[in-house]
Amino acid sequence: MKNTEPSVRRIHHVELVVGNAKQASYFYRNSFGFDQVGYAGLETGLKDRASYHMKQGNINLILTTPLDPDHPYAEFHKKHGDAVVDIAFTVSNIDSIYKFAVDHGATSIAEPFKTGDGNNGIIKSASIKAYGDTMHSFIEEDGYAGNFLPGFEPSEIKGKSTGIVFPDHIVANVEDQKMHHWVDWYKTIFNFHQFATFDDKDISTEFSSLRSTVMASPNEVVKLPINEPAEGRSKSQIQEYVESYGGAGVQHMAFLTGDIIDSVSRLKEQGVDFLKIPDSYYDTLQERVGVIDEDINMLRKLNILVDRDDKGYLLQLFTKPIEDRPTLFYEIIQRKGCQGFGKGNFKALFEAIELEQKRRGNLEL
- Tell me how many degrees the CA angle 199-13-196 measures, rounded to the nearest 5: 20
Final residue in a domain of this structure, among 94, 127, 157: 157
Average pLDDT, the chain: 91
Q: Indicate the pLDDT class of residue 358, thresholds 50, 70 and 90.
A: low
Do 146 and 169 lie in one domain? The reply is no
Taking alpha carbons only, the member of 245, 236, 229, 239 closest to residue 328 is 245
Q: What is the pLDDT of residue 242?
A: 94
- Which residues lie closer than 8 Å to 302 by C-beta, 6 or more apart? 261, 264, 265, 268, 317
Q: What is the pLDDT of residue 75?
A: 98
What predicted TM-score, i.e. pTM, was given to this entire model? 0.93
* 3 falls within a domain: no
Give the residue with greater pLDDT, 55 vs 350.
55
Query: Is residue 18 pLDDT above 90, yes or no?
Result: yes
Give the residue with greater pLDDT, 143 vs 362.
143
Q: Indicate the pLDDT class of residue 118, thresholds 50, 70 and 90.
A: confident
Q: Indicate the pLDDT class of residue 238, thresholds 50, 70 and 90.
A: confident
Q: What is the pLDDT of residue 280?
A: 86
Report the number of distinct structural domains present in the chain: 2
Final residue in a domain of this structure, among 157, 179, 208: 157
Do 72 and 211 lie in one domain? The reply is no
CA distance 241 to 246: 8
Q: Read off the CATH number of the domain in which 190 is found.
A: 3.10.180.10
Query: Is residue 313 pLDDT above 80, yes or no?
Result: yes
Do 119 and 175 lie in one domain? The reply is no
- Tell me how many degrees the CA angle 131-171-333 measures, rounded to the nearest 5: 165
Do 189 and 266 lie in one domain? The reply is yes
Please state the rounded mean pLDDT for residues 213-232.
91
Please state the rounded mean pLDDT for residues 306-313.
94
Taking alpha carbons only, the member of 305, 298, 295, 293 closest to residue 332 is 305
Do 134 and 39 lie in one domain? The reply is yes
3-class SS at 57? coil
Query: Is residue 5 pLDDT above 50, yes or no?
Result: no
Do 260 and 336 lie in one domain? The reply is yes
Do 153 and 190 lie in one domain? The reply is no
Domain containing 50 equals: 8-157
**Model confidence over 127-181: pLDDT tens digits?**
999 999 999 999 999 788 888 999 999 999 999 999 999 999 999 999 999 999 9
DSSP label of 271: T
* 1 falls within a domain: no
Q: What is the pLDDT of residue 11?
A: 98
